[in-house]
A and B are shown apart, each in its own frame.
Chain A
């Protein structure tokens, strides 16, 4: 490395970029757009990924999901997970707990006469504990209440607020009627959580699945659309558990191995993996678009530096005449392109961060579940991007700087 003073190189680069303000500005636009889109994509993308991860983590990592039918083949019978199936699965030694997942839409009437259409989910105690549901008032229903099919109900805000305006504590202790059965509100969950994406348009509540089967009209008491089984991971891996359950179900449904089953079985891990594959594919695609804009910006830097070198041929000749070595000239021009690029990178970083926060603020306005997406500002990503911007200037400045450093002093001085 040359012993040339760093401060001199810096002020030199600064002066030269400043002296060509208009041109430098135009070059910078490319870098600013490139870097800011990378930052925006990464911040919002990481935010979406964090949001999805958060949502999915509510599933727990030890759940096996069994659903009716099979999208890949035609099935005659849609209700293929029977109570018998579930009982046998629940009885397996490595299954800690299980829960069907039932849904009914019913009109609920409050004590005060207000009515509200409710989407009611039927779960076991383990089921309700899932889904990233955050209890804000009261309690969840217990295993005992599930066993006894007790008429207790939990709601997701703002259901309680809508049924009992002005009531605090999620209207715990209040009663509502559904299909002529009175249920006691025992708890309230924060809106959001598993399956709660449209809370502003829909009203969610949950009762023990047993109560739903026993006390609500129209419920199918013998089959489930979907069920969950929780594997004791100290005995088996979730994948092994899934294979065992599949074997049980195939036996019960009389479907030999190798034939398509009339049910679908998957693990929460697999679902999480699939979702993250989708989100990261999306991220990679967007990053590719940003990379192309950066490439275009880089070519812009290269171009402007080539023009600069041509314009300053005489200066280069003079510097060589007073003793500058090829390396000194190379370093000088690399510094200048790195400075240009770094400067653009810093502006790009600022606009990128502003855009990220602007975008998530916009998403909050849209709601529909997007309101929970927060831009994730990762200092590592920021540092990398800024470092990258400088490195980028060096890479694309290399060709012009080499051209400058190899100029013959005589020829350079001759140019008028």
Chain B
């Protein structure tokens, strides 16, 4: 995959998703243009209701945009048929959900085999599923039903299921949100390993700023648009125009400003002994953040874009 290192596995142009609500429309996504490279490890960040899941569902080909273009691995997917979309989900994307979504009546192995059931390549299904289970360290639990496994083990089975068809991208919606501290860390380490060793593009959704603070790339969304709330507010007050028309330089400047302010606030807090825990910090997420920090270094802080615990930061693309 190294030869494609600088190509985009995901490229979107002005993606919009509107839901009609009586006479008005809910703008769940508005003018989202992003690029994600092969092998990136990125997080979609934002508070609840900001449009993260909507964005990931469209990027995961589970949903279609109302407007805009989406190129996945070089294919324009926003207009293709349902059947082709199903095939793309099957071949190119592995999903990991917050609530695991394992089928309760079948074994771990059978759950992992599920994508192969709908795959064109069904050869050696069992062996391939065993191999995937082995990668997540659960080969010895193949015959167990989901309810006989712990939450962390269930999520590992779900990751094996996401891996079994050797997809390009792993999409994880709050993968550590339902886990305890130890499992959260293990799951995140697993995702990091897949990214580093297998070169998988990992795209996760989180509302947890702790994770956002350490992940190599953050895609902030707020109110259906790119950028954190603060960033959008500042840009609008500067330019008196739509945020989306701001230049990359302007965005970077705003982010630096926010980061500086945040550092100031932090120092102030430290001096006054104030502990800010505005969001409910989840232990699974907290330990996941530790795992990311260990693996990637606290990159966001070191390159000067660290931010307060309740804000996300969009990175310049590439």
Contact = CB atoms under 8 A, between A and B. Distances in A.
Contacts of B57: 410
Given A323-B115, A325-B118, A409-B62, A19 B105 contact: yes
A323 B119 contact: yes
A279 B122 CA distance: 57
B86 A320 contact: yes
B114 interface: yes
Chain A interface main SS type: helix
B60 A321 contact: yes
Nearest to A408: B63
Nearest to B164: A322
B62 A4 contact: no
A49 interface: no
Given A325-B82, A326-B82, A413-B101, A319 B118 contact: yes
A129 B101 CA distance: 80
Interface residues of B, number: 26
B106 interface: yes
A5 B82 CA distance: 22
A324 interface: yes
Contacts of A314: 101
A323 B93 CA distance: 9
Interface in A318-337: 318-328
Given A322-B89, A322-B90, A413 B117 contact: no
Given A3-B122, A8-B117, A15 B105 contact: yes
Nearest to A16: B105
B115 A413 contact: no
B149 interface: no
Interface in B109-168: 114-115, 117-120, 122, 161, 165
Contacts of B120: 3
Contacts of B118: 4, 319, 322-325, 328
A324 to B, nearest CB: 5
A57 B122 CA distance: 63
Nearest to A3: B122
Contacts of A3: 120, 122
B97 A413 contact: yes
Contacts of A321: 60, 62, 89, 95, 101
Contacts of A19: 105
A200 interface: no
A240 interface: no
B62 A322 contact: no
A322 B161 contact: yes
Contacts of B283: none
Interface in B34-73: 57, 60, 62-63
B114 A319 contact: yes
B83 A325 contact: yes
Interface string A1-44: 00111001000000110010000000000000000000000000
A314 B122 CA distance: 24
Given A16-B105, A410-B62, A413-B101, A322 B114 contact: yes
B114 A315 contact: no
Nearest to A315: B103
B31 interface: no
Most-contacted residue by chain A among B89, B106, B118, B161 (CB, 10 A): B118
27 contacts: A3-B120, A3-B122, A8-B117, A15-B106, A315-B103, A318-B101, A318-B103, A318-B114, A319-B114, A319-B118, A320-B86, A321-B62, A321-B89, A321-B95, A322-B89, A322-B95, A322-B118, A322-B161, A323-B89, A323-B90, A323-B118, A323-B165, A325-B87, A326-B82, A326-B83, A413-B97, A413-B101
Given A3-B122, A5-B122, A323-B165, 5 more contacts: A15-B106, A323-B86, A323-B89, A323-B91, A325-B86
4 A-B pairs closest in CB distance: A323-B90, A323-B118, A322-B115, A325-B86
